[in-house]
Structure formats: C-alpha cells, structure tokens
Amino acid sequence: MSKIIAILNQKGGAGKTTLSTNLARALQLDGDKVLLVDSDPQGSARDWNAAANGELLPVVGLDRVTLAKDIQAIQDNQDWLIIDGAPQIAELAVAAIKCADIILIPVQPSPYDVWACEDLVDIIKTRQEVTNGKPKAAFVISRVIKNTQLSKEIGEALEGYNLPVFKSYTSQRVIYPKSAATGSTVLDAEQANEAAAEIRAIAKELKEFINA
C-alpha cells in the first residue's frame, strides 16, 4: 500500500509546490517509488516537471473532484503518493483530505498566514472526528527568515489549532526557486547545501510522524 501525503493550504504562495517537489525527491532518493500528483489546475508541478523534460520524477495531473477515486486507480506499485494541493478550491481539498494518510500544511511565519489556515483546519478536524483521527495532520513552517523572533511566535500561534507542528522547516533561501526554475530540487544541487539538509529533515520527521 502506498502512503498518500497531501500538501495542503488554501493560500497561494504558502510553499505547497516547493515542499511537494522537494519532499517527493527526498523520498525517491531514499530508494522509494514516488509519484507526484498535481491537483492544482494551474499545473505548477507539471510545469516544474516539464522544465526537466520529466526526467526527475513522475508527475500526473489530477485536478478534478474525482481525485480520491482517480488516486485509487494509480496508487499500485508506489511507495508514496505526494499530492500537491490546489489553492482556494474547497472541493479538491476535501477530496484530498478523504484519501490522504497524512496532511502536511506548509505555512509561512506571518499571522495572516496562520489565520488563513482556519477553514482548512476545520475541514480536517471534522474529517478526523468521523474517521477515528485519520488523516493525521501537521504544520510545516516554510520560508523562515533567519534570526527572527517571529518564527518562534508563529510556532506558538499555530499551537492554538491543536495540531502538531514539525520541528523541521524550510528557511527563506534562493536555492528553492532557483532549483525549481530548471525542474530540479535543492537535493540535486552540485554542492551540499543547507536547504537539502532542511528537506531531508522534513522527510525524516514525516516518516517518524507516520509511525508514531
């Protein structure tokens, strides 16, 4: 059985596609079979994949409300399905929540971004109530700016939602957009870099979270 991870946040720019592509690559480099599912009608993950002629990762576009059913049809032989979530499309988010084992919510360290998660958290919790806690969900803070007190405060603000917050996070680094421009990831950069370490830490924490 494949593990289905949905990366969701109704807000555009939260870091969904960045986390989806990099996390998918990290899991693949760990030796697993990974399929990236682009549920955003804008097709950012598909554009990313096309920029590398599809050589890095398999990516499929499933951006209809039949997502949960469609996923069933393609999940054979995969270890992981990573769903890159769509912004602002409630039905698609609900469909992804229905079929996911784990939901990761990337959120930028700003109060507006924290407040904007409220509807999504409500939908997730409503689902968890009827399904014995499935899917498990956690926040992953994205684009942390070094040496800011704010990031710590945001961690505390998110605790109000009563969902776990990953200890690992991504920092604001040029290598994220720069690598994406060529359909690549921070893990494929020529030199070892701190962004790659961040992504590997998130992948590791995800595996611990699944097994916890």
Ligand X SMILES: Nc1ncnc2c1ncn2[C@@H]1O[C@H](COP(=O)(O)OP(=O)(O)O)[C@@H](O)[C@H]1O
Does the protein bind Mg ion through residue 16 (CB under 5 A)?
yes
- Helix (H), strand (E) at residue 207: helix 194-211
Cα dihedral across residues 187, 2, 170, 113: positive or negative: positive
175 closest CA partner among 192, 162, 158: 192
Spatial separation of the C-alpha atoms in residues 182 and 50, rounded to whole Å: 9
Least separation in angstroms between residue 84's CB and Mg ion is 6
Does the protein bind ligand X through residue 180 (CB under 6 A)?
yes
139 closest CA partner among 180, 95, 186, 103: 103
Contact yes or no for 71/60 (Cβ under 8 A): no
Six-digit token pair at 153?
Answer: 């405060």
* E-state strands within the chain: 3-7, 34-38, 59-61, 80-84, 102-107, 136-141
Does the protein bind ligand X through residue 48 (CB under 6 A)?
no
- 180's contact among ligand X, Mg ion, none, with CB below 5 to 8 A by partner kind, is ligand X
Spatial separation of the C-alpha atoms in residues 139 and 206, rounded to whole Å: 11
Does the protein bind Mg ion through residue 39 (CB under 5 A)?
no
Residues 10-29 that bind ligand X (CB under 6 A): 12-18
Does the protein bind Mg ion through residue 44 (CB under 5 A)?
yes
Choices 37-45, 97-105, 109-117, 149-157; region in contact with Mg ion by CB under 5 A: 37-45
Contact characters 102-141, ligand X, x per CB under 6 A: ----------------------------------------
In the bound state with ligand X, the residue whose beta carbon lies nearer, of 31 and 177, is 177
Six-digit token pair at 152?
Answer: 């710590």
In the bound state with ligand X, the residue whose beta carbon lies nearer, of 194 and 208, is 194
3-class DSSP state of 153 = helix
In the bound state with ligand X, the residue whose beta carbon lies nearer, of 39 and 78, is 39
List 9, 17, 21, 28, residue binding Mg ion (CB under 5 A): 17
Does the protein bind ligand X through residue 202 (CB under 6 A)?
no
In the bound state with ligand X, the residue whose beta carbon lies nearer, of 13 and 58, is 13
Instruction: Give contact residues for ligand X (rule: CB under 6 A).
Output: 9, 12-18, 44, 142-143, 170-173, 176-177, 180
